[in-house]
Amino acid sequence: MINSKKLIEIVRKWQRLAAIGRKRISFARTREGFGDCNPSIIVDKGHFVVYTADQQRFVIPLAYLSNAIFRELLKMAEEEHGLPSDGPITLPCDAVFIEFAVSLIRRNVGKEMEKALLMSITTARCLSSSCLQQEQSNQKLLICSF
């Protein structure tokens, strides 16, 4: 069990990170060539691609598909957009959120922390393109849930 102090610390750190010119984690790229099926944008082996509501492109390792956070995000995408077959997957959250989620999974912060984030997204449910405000309310929820 993570105590709330540590959680706040992590959230602060993330806020700082996000503030520093939104330094992107290595696999985030801008959305270029979206829409056409140019084979050159097909990614490295062992990865899949998602776009965020604010049109950022993320290349994610396949293994993340079994992570509860990504499963929830995909489920939310399905509720939001149905299951369109004509283009890439778009998740109903913004780049900052994905960066945070990916950094959590990457640093292997453990199931408790992931659960907390999951709870915050399932409670908020409405992460949409109007990003920062909702991000903040998510932080609150995240902290409140302990």
Partner 1 sequence: MRPNKKRLSISNPEIFPSFNNQVDKGTVQIELMNFLRACFRPRSNRHVHAGPDSGGKQEGLLWYKDTGQHANGEFSMAVVQANNLLEDQSQIESGCLSTNELGPFGTFVGVYDGHGGPETSRYINQYLFQHIKRFTNEQQSMSVDVIRKAFQATEEGFLSLVTQQWPMKPQIAAVGSCCLVGVICNGTLYIANLGDSRAVLGRLVKSTGEVLAIQLSAEHNVAIESVRQELRSLHPDDSQIVVLKHNVWRVKGLIQISRSIGDVYLKKAEFNREPLYAKFRLREPLRRPVLSSEPAISVHPLQPHDRFIIFASDGLWEHLSNQEAVDLVQNHPRSGSAKRLVKVALQEAAKKREMRYSDLKKIDRGVRRHFHDDITVIVVFLDSNLVSRASSVHSPNLSVKGGGVNLPSNTLVPCTTPT
Task: Name the residues that contact partner 1, by CB under 8 A.
Answer: 37, 39, 41-43, 45-49, 62, 65-66, 71, 74-75, 77-78, 80-89
Residue nearer to partner 1 on the CB measure, 7 or 69 = 69
Could you give the strand order of the β-sheet that contains 28-30, starting from the edge strand earlier in sequence?
Answer: 28-30, 56-61, 47-52, 89-91
Note whether 70 and 64 are within 8 A (CB): yes
- Rounded to a whole number, what is the distance in angstroms from the first to the last CA of the chain? 9
Rounded to a whole number of angstroms, the minimum distance from the CB of residue 128 to partner 1 is: 12
- Work out the number of other CB atoms within 10 angstroms of the CB of residue 123: 14
Q: Specify the residue, 8 or 74, whose C-beta has the smaller distance to partner 1.
A: 74
74 vs 119, beta carbon nearer partner 1: 74
Least Cβ distance, residue 145 to partner 1 (angstroms): 23
